[in-house]
Each structure stands twice: as C-alpha cells, then as structure tokens.
C-alpha cells in the first residue's frame, strides 16, 4: 500500500493506493505543519485517524508533501513520526511546493504559486525548484494567504478602518474579544490556521468594495515579491494552487494582467492531480 498526502496547515488530505495503482480510500486529518504544531499533537492527529491505523503495517511507501516541511528540522520531525507509526514504510517528506508543482505541471517548466492558509512560489525548470527566498512563515511572509488576510481584517476592525456595515457583520460572526484573540495567536498551537479562519469572511462579501481593495492589495504584494522576481515570468506558464486563489480567481487574473502576466490555471485542491502524477510514475 502506498500513502500520498498533501498536508497544509489547516488540513491534510491522504489517499491510499494499492499495488494495482487503484485508489483504496481517502481521508482528511487536521493540518500537519511541523513548523508550528507540537510533535505530540502531530502524532495524535495521525493515530486518531482509524483508516490510517488500520493499514499501518501494510504501507510500504509514504509520499508526504506539507506546509512547514521546506527546512530540515521540521521535516525530520515529521519523518521520524511517520516512520515510527508506519514501521514497514519508506518515507519521503518534502515541502508542499513540490506537490504543487507535480499537481500543476508534472514535469514541464512553470511558475507555481500557493495561496492557501500560507503562501509561497517557485520556478520549476522541469527538474529543480528555484525560489525567490525561503518561506519564513505567517509572521514575516505569506503575502496574500489566508492568515495574511485574517490579520488585515482583524487590524482593520480594531483601527475602525472597516465600513460600519461590514464591521457589524464581522463582530457578529467572530469572537473578537482581545483576550481571546491574543490567547489564540500567542499561546495556542496553529496561530496561522486561527488567523486564516477570519479570511473566510471575505468569501461572503467578495463584491464589497472594501473587500475587493483588500484582496487586490494583497495579490499585488504577492506578485511583487513572489512572481515578478523570476526572470522568465512573462514567457512561462503560471499556476496557482489553493482556496484563496480559487475563490478570488477573477481578482487574481486582473492583478496579474496589470503586471503583464497571464495565469495558465488555478487548482483548488492538488491532491487528485498529485495522485495521478504518482500513478504515472510509480515503478
């Protein structure tokens, strides 16, 4: 049995493939970002999924692509956990950027971008990934991500920069008590995921001028820092992965056009394309 996983900060999608390259089942766990989730909690989120535990001795290979797995220490932590649970498996842990590339373009050159709970981009030359800079996460980077927009909404609410009607809807939908916010941001696990929950507010009010301005500004920041620095940006296919890109594709395409760029494709969830890639490349 082979397990293929696309692990974001909010959720992780798992698909099991049998030796005939047929899908056996699929499940979803909570996010498994080893850069922000404590080791014990990572383990609990896996072992509490009975479908995975039911086949743990049958799994021979695991391909895990995840947020927070782009640097050695967090990826090593997750790899150790997976090897301890799935004792007969060879485990590959790689950053989510690689999964995005496989899902979007397979083996062809492209610029591939992620706009989900977090954000990132790379230029793929058909063999290797090249990045503008390492991702330093939700505090320092993650332009135009779910947690980026969540922060913007919270700040605008407290500084009274939101239009009054939207402000009233915002405080009705969320617990905006200052102590509650500070506890979840500074003391609890997954602060990036917590912040991203506020971004869902934008989906219901995407036609409001205030929301459109907020989205456009965030997308422009992303293009400035994460797309335009690639020298071949105008002649290379550009793909976006993630719910932020998917639900605001119209705005994304307009901002791209203002930067003389054209988006080739947008994929909400990469897991099905990722599985197809592996089915075609399993030896």
pLDDT-based confidence at residue 4 (cuts at 50, 70, 90): very high
> What is the rounded distance in angstroms from the CA atom of residue 137 to the CA atom of residue 121?
13
pTM of the model: 0.85
pLDDT-based confidence at residue 283 (cuts at 50, 70, 90): low
Domain spans of the chain, in order of start: 2-100+271-281
Instruction: Report CA-CA distances (Å) from 79 to 52, 82, 84, 87.
Output: 16, 5, 9, 12
* Domain covering 2-100+271-281, topology: Nucleotidyltransferase; domain 5 (3.30.420)
Burial degree of 24 (CB within 10 A; 0-12, 13-18, 19+): middle
**DSSP secondary structure letter of residue 265:** E
Contacts of 7 (CB under 8 A, 6+ apart): 13, 31, 32, 33, 64, 65, 66, 67, 69, 96
Tens-digit pLDDT profile for residues 262-278: 999 999 988 888 888 88
DSSP three-state, residue 153: helix
On the question of pLDDT at 282 being above 80, the answer is: no
């Amino acid at each position: 049995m082979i397990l293929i996983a696309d692990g974001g900060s909010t959720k992780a999608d798992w698909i099991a493939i049998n030796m005939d390259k047929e899908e056996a089942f699929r499940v979803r766990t909570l996010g498994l970002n080893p850069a922000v989730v404590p080791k014990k909690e990572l383990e609990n989120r896996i072992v509490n999924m009975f479908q995975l535990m039911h086949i743990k001795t049958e799994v021979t290979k695991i391909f895990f692509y995840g947020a927070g797995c782009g640097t050695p220490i967090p990826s090593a932590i997750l790899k150790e956990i997976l090897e301890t649970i799935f004792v007969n498996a060879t485990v590959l842990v790689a950053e989510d950027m690689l999964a995005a590339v496989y899902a979007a373009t397979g083996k062809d050159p492209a610029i591939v971008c992620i706009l989900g709970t977090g954000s990132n981009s790379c230029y793929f030359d058909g063999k290797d990934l090249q990045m503008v800079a390492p991702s330093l996460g939700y505090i320092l980077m993650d332009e135009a991500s779910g947690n980026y927009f969540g922060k913007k909404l919270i700040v605008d609410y407290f500084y009274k920069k939101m239009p009054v009607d939207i402000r009233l809807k915002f405080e009705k939908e969320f617990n905006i008590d200052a102590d509650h916010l500070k506890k979840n941001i500074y003391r609890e696990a997954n602060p990036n995921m917590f912040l991203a929950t506020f971004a869902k507010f934008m989906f219901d009010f995407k036609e409001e001028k205030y929301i459109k301005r907020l989205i456009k500004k965030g997308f422009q920041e992303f293009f400035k820092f994460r797309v335009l620095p690639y020298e071949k940006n105008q002649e290379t296919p550009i793909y976006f992965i993630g719910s932020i890109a998917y639900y605001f594709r119209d705005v994304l395409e307009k901002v791209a056009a203002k930067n003389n760029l054209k988006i080739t494709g947008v994929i909400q969830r990469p897991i099905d394309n990722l599985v197809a890639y592996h089915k075609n490349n399993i030896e």
